[in-house]
């Protein structure tokens, strides 16, 4: 039988997205830094690993690609990598970017959409004064949302 552990009071438990960029991770980090103020807290390349990468694991030319990166976007940490060059494209999820103002939403949405594809333009919804969806130039889905004003 499956035994579950109650993690409702475990403050060390968290879920962090880990996104693979198929050789374009440094480009993505640079883009997100400019577009939405991301900050790279850690970047480790395959050729910097203290343990050698197993023979045949990497595609040729991946030696100096990003093995692991920790990128801060606001209060959130998004983990990133170039992967080994064989991962399937990102599908079935989106990163949800919560911003405080409509002006922030306009700026972030336009920046993320540059070179990508808008799937739902920014506009009012029943839950938000502005919400929109897009796929960025790296194939990553984003949902940009302004938190609804709190009732006074």
pLDDT in tens, 75-122: 999 999 999 877 777 788 999 999 999 999 999 999 999 999 999 999
> What is the pTM (predicted TM-score) of this model?
0.86
Contact 101, 88 (CB under 8 A): no
Average pLDDT, the chain: 90
CA-CA distance, 34 to 142, in Å (whole number)?
A: 16
Q: How confident is the model at residue 11 (pLDDT cuts 50, 70, 90)?
A: confident
| Lowest mean pLDDT segment, chosen from 66-70, 71-75, 144-148 | 144-148
CA-CA distance, 115 to 105, in Å (whole number)?
A: 17
Highest mean pLDDT among 8-22, 24-38, 49-63: 24-38
Contact 53, 89 (CB under 8 A): no
Q: What is each CA distance from 54 to 59, 71, 77, 137, in whole angstroms?
A: 12, 26, 28, 31
pLDDT at 152: 46
pLDDT of residue 2 exceeding 60: no
């Amino acid at each position: 039988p499956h035994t579950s552990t109650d993690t409702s009071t475990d403050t060390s438990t968290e879920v962090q997205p880990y996104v693979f960029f198929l050789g374009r991770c440094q480009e993505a980090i640079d883009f997100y830094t400019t577009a939405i103020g991301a900050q790279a807290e850690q970047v480790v390349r395959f050729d910097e690993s203290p343990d050698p990468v197993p023979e045949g694991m990497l595609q040729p030319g991946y030696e100096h690609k990003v093995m692991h990166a920790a990128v801060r976007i606001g209060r959130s940490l998004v983990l990133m990598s170039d992967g080994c060059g064989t991962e399937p494209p990102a599908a079935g999820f989106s990163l949800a970017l919560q911003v405080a103002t409509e002006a922030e939403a306009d700026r972030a949405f336009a920046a993320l959409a540059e070179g990508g594809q808008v799937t739902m333009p920014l506009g009012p919804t029943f839950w938000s004064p502005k919400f929109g969806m897009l796929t960025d130039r790296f194939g990553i889905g984003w949902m940009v949302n302004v938190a609804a004003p709190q009732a006074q």
